[in-house]
């Protein structure tokens, strides 16, 4: 039986950054990497790629937050 194309993990920016981060953390360079500005940049890029990947949901408008707070 064939795998659907949608189930196969595609090589994209998020996947590449996660692989890079994991490989560097397991390498001898890990002590120099952890806590560095490079790690901070990679972490921020992963976070941005994850938020880009999320599907936008229905969010209340700013004037509906008061009603939402009363309802809960």
Summarize pLDDT for 35-67 with one digit per residue, the tens.
899 899 989 988 888 877 666 677 777 777 777
What is the spatial distance between Cα 15 and Cα 20, in angstroms, rounded to a whole number? 9
How much is the pTM? Answer: 0.55
* pLDDT higher than 60, residue 1: no
Please tell me which residue, 59 or 20, carries the higher pLDDT value.
Answer: 20
Radius of gyration of the chain (CA): 19
As a whole number, mean pLDDT of residues 7-13 equals 69
Q: Residue 64 has what pLDDT?
A: 78
Q: What is the model's pLDDT at position 8?
A: 63
The structure tokens 């595609």 sit at 10
Query: Which letter does DSSP use for residue 29 in this model?
Result: T
The confidence band for 6, taking pLDDT boundaries of 50, 70 and 90, is low
């Amino acid at each position: 039986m064939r795998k659907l194309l949608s189930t196969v993990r595609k090589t994209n920016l998020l996947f590449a950054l996660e692989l890079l981060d994991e490989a560097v953390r397991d390498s001898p360079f890990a002590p120099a990497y952890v806590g560095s500005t490079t790690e901070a940049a990679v972490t921020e890029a992963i976070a941005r790629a994850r938020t880009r990947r999320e599907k936008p949901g229905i969010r209340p408008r700013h004037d509906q937050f008061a009603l939402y707070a009363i309802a809960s």
